[in-house]
Structure 1
């Protein structure tokens, strides 16, 4: 679970009294006269069921739910049993499981990064000055005398009239790229690239993918703490990268990707007779053209390649009259497995909040949807693996969908439902991106809730949870959470609880379940998810991305192809 998937207030661990949730939630909405009247109630949220699921998945015998570990079969058997009990049918062509083949690549024996072509040869130390790794499953990576080209932010966005690669042939060359996107320093969210809010074009995976499409041999992203939203320590501490296995072993990717310190970039640019600050400023303006630096780079390293197979769990509620149209509900079942021991010697990262709660949520949703009877459209429930390894379970599903993406209406992703009290507000991750925002606000109004802005939109949290694997292929998926304005204690209590979780439990061994948890806030989120999903499942609309959104073109193409058949 990423820290900034929505508001950190969605991780509120306040010790509030357990709300009475044994009956359906009576939603309320303002009328024109200002009085409040109940709207049609959703089925009851099964809180005892969710408690049971969270407790079981976060128990020590699940060993932190590490994918492809001896604990995985126990986790899968438990989820399958719960899906069956909820009334689901096997969702993968009569099977419950979808294999997710992965590869892990750990680099070693790194050479210095040497840069030639200036007055003197420059040499930069691995880890300290630069980090490199390969997306290719090969034993050795060696870059020799590859030309360095500064390509600004490394963005191609035709719908925005922006192309940093225009007029340059990148074959055999190394792209030197700035982190984030051209608007990152804005104080608001206005601008070609949504101002302060990071877009997909600002995320490092996009930059690697686009450079590969351009035929580049490698990529070096210039790290700067503010636009990156994390320090160099985050980059230097990651030695193993995880990927989906591909038939070509990743040979369509660049030979080497990586990062360089800003100070390293400044020295390289100076050796090329260029001013780094001036070129960076120019790169933020429309019409920027790539700048060959007249220098060549060399570096090499070894790769330890290991393969494994984990699994997604897929269940289905067939639709009543449009069974070929599908609404998805997802949550990742994996966590960190055995991890660094805490002061007590506990070395199991149980992952109760992250994300046993999400799995409990989709199981409760499955039961509620089954109890409500078949919807017009089919509803699929997917417990995803390998989110903590880079969204690999959702990435594999989205690349190999059981239900065609062109016929996937949209969905809801649940990641890290925080114990604690109900809130007066909800936050939707990603800002205004799709037609789902209007439906989100419709249901907020019906329940008398407020919308709160996403905290830290510059960190790109929208692109760091499982819904994103579908979004980048055109399918809009809700990612939302409770805000920090709690019904009891207000914003101060919400903020304090969020900070407490982040500091003391997030990705640590004591992310445990407790019978003392206040489940009323979790039930509020699951009830809201039910309403959002049921409207899509019973309706006829096909939500799309807003004009000029980065994912609009792929959705349009997908839907056009379906209509043409």
Structure 2
């Protein structure tokens, strides 16, 4: 997230695109205007399926048209994404009985709760409580926190992140400090549901979660979205939620257990779940609303291989109305991710100005990323352009507005050949490749590229590192921590006219050059490394390659 001050409105490339073509200008005025517009209060935080969605989609379509794109979905600009909105009301406290004392945890302050089930009422009564450590079932590691355990109808209490997250390096069954899919909260809820748990509760800790309690509170209260699918998600647990660490300490003490000691035990292979001797009761009503949201799809058709597609993606949504700070209850989402949509439009303008490539370029603005990557997941499962013909691409979630950087970070490096194409482009811009500074945050699994990766399409997830031209890594790391603590998913994520866009331009030049390389070299077909969990599905999708 980093750049040069006082640059003109059009900045030239810092990395030479493929085939030694003159570097295009990245329209900085577009970055500013689109970000400022979409993050203004008039767009009310861009929550999907709210009145603000129509305004947001219309603006993105307008900008794609002006950039020179064509409607990308059989003559339409949009793809309907069936959604169901479930809003919990009259949420009862989590009441735990059977211990030394009854423990009652209040909604929002001590805990948050919701459900994936599309039903009018949730009621859990006297559900036995079991501590299942990190809640991981990983056969390839011989690791199963549910081994020998029947949790049907019971409540599981789970720790966030992986069992080896405190390891300094990346050695360990779950890549050490780097978070894996097993460490992410969606996995923990999915695995609990697979084992039949009535309720799944994650113990929040700021460091391994990678964000503070206010982020959990704002994200898990109010309307919650899911894809509207057959079965109404009745295969999921009745209750999913989080509790504050202080509340967890109180809970375990009531059960006569030491949470710290159990946490240490859970970090060792062979750990066995521990019944707490407690029972949980809670419940709430659900207000249900079914309504389609929309992805926006624009295309720059290819000339000689138009059925092959290079994909650029970014999510247009944010979380809308949220917990007020000093009377402001609009989470504007300027950096996250109005800036990413601005980058998408700026790249569309630059690529269209350069002229059509041999392969088609698709510019995809997806909905409901903040609700669990729903828009990208729906597109990946119902693609407008077959994934077997999707060459690869770039996802943009948050642009760098802190200034130029000396380095570039590849998230979850070591997974795909698309990294090999990006590295010389980064080097041509005079930057080095740095390891992820905070791999424990699991960024690779938290944005829309993951929806495509799971189904075999290699997408670059990389951006400016923390080694700023002005201030070095100390300044860069401080900027990252400041954003997470003070603006991320809060009303304070608002557009600032003094932002330095030069780092965003550096990154967009990499994305431009990579996309042009993929689109003009029809012999390129990047895949995953043989050690990657996504290689098999890529090979199966297009065996002729």
The alignment's TM-score, normalised by the length of structure 1, stands at 0.82
Q: CA contact under 8 A between 1:26 and 1:39: conserved in structure 2?
A: no
Paired residue secondary structure (1:78): helix
Cα shift readout 1:164-203 (whole Å, capped 9, x = no counterpart)? 3344344333333222111111111221211111111111
Matched, 1:79 2:60: yes
Cα shift readout 1:202-261 (whole Å, capped 9, x = no counterpart)? 111110012222332221223344433344454455422332222322212111112345
How many residue pairs are counted as aligned between the two chains? Answer: 540
Cα shift readout 1:479-509 (whole Å, capped 9, x = no counterpart)? 2222333445544554565566667765436
Q: CA contact under 8 A between 1:136 and 1:250: conserved in structure 2?
A: yes
Matched, 1:369 2:369: no
2:384 — aligned with what? Answer: 402
Matches within 5 A, 1:435-450: 435-450=417-432
Paired residue secondary structure (1:563): coil
Matches within 5 A, 1:340-419: 350-419=332-401
1:185 — aligned with what? Answer: 166
Matched, 1:208 2:189: yes
1:302 — aligned with what? Answer: 285
Paired residue secondary structure (2:26): coil
The runs of 5 or more residues in structure 2 that have no matched partner are none
| Partners of 2:159 and 2:485 in 1: CA distance | 30
1:107 — aligned with what? Answer: 88
Distance 1:510 1:184, change over 3 A: closer
| Partners of 1:328 and 1:185 in 2: CA distance | 36
2:268 — aligned with what? Answer: 285
Q: CA contact under 8 A between 1:159 and 1:548: conserved in structure 2?
A: no
| Partners of 1:489 and 1:85 in 2: CA distance | 38
Matches within 5 A, 1:6-155: 10=1, 12=2, 16-19=5-8, 21=10, 27=16, 40-58=21-39, 61-115=42-96, 122-127=102-107, 130-155=111-136
| Partners of 2:245 and 2:478 in 1: CA distance | 35
| Partners of 2:287 and 2:271 in 1: CA distance | 39
Matches within 5 A, 1:505-524: 507-508=490-491, 511-512=494-495, 514=497, 518-524=500-506
Q: CA contact under 8 A between 2:334 and 2:495: conserved in structure 1?
A: yes
1:34 — aligned with what? Answer: none
C-alpha deviation, 1:271, in angstroms: 7.1
Distance 1:82 1:277, change over 3 A: closer
Distance 1:336 1:267, change over 3 A: closer
| Partners of 1:260 and 1:312 in 2: CA distance | 33
Match among 430, 454, 471 for residue 436 of structure 2:
454
Deviates more, 1:500-509 or 1:521-530: 500-509
Match among 309, 317, 328 for residue 300 of structure 2:
317
| Partners of 2:332 and 2:247 in 1: CA distance | 40
| Partners of 1:336 and 1:111 in 2: CA distance | 24
1:172 — aligned with what? Answer: 153
Paired residue secondary structure (2:237): coil
Paired residue secondary structure (1:422): coil
Q: CA contact under 8 A between 1:424 and 1:486: conserved in structure 2?
A: yes
Distance 1:411 1:273, change over 3 A: same
Cα shift readout 1:32-65 (whole Å, capped 9, x = no counterpart)? xxxxxx9554433233444443454445554544
| Partners of 1:252 and 1:377 in 2: CA distance | 41
Match among 191, 202, 209 for residue 228 of structure 1:
209
Paired residue secondary structure (2:118): coil
C-alpha deviation, 1:347, in angstroms: 6.6
| Partners of 1:222 and 1:287 in 2: CA distance | 21
C-alpha deviation, 1:529, in angstroms: 0.7
State the Cα RMSD in Å.
3.6
Deviates more, 1:492-501 or 1:147-156: 492-501
1:5 — aligned with what? Answer: none
Match among 228, 234, 258 for residue 251 of structure 1:
234
| Partners of 2:79 and 2:405 in 1: CA distance | 36
Cα shift readout 1:60-106 (whole Å, capped 9, x = no counterpart)? 55454443343433332232232223332222232111123333333
Matched, 1:332 2:315: yes
C-alpha deviation, 1:376, in angstroms: 4.3
Distance 1:223 1:388, change over 3 A: closer
Cα shift readout 1:356-382 (whole Å, capped 9, x = no counterpart)? 332222222223333444444332111
Deviates more, 1:347-356 or 1:308-317: 347-356
1:4 — aligned with what? Answer: none
| Partners of 1:25 and 1:414 in 2: CA distance | 18
Deviates more, 1:174-183 or 1:261-270: 261-270
The runs of 5 or more residues in structure 1 that have no matched partner are 1-9, 30-37
C-alpha deviation, 1:404, in angstroms: 3.2
Q: CA contact under 8 A between 1:182 and 1:283: conserved in structure 2?
A: yes
2:450 — aligned with what? Answer: 468
Match among 517, 537, 541 for residue 557 of structure 1:
537
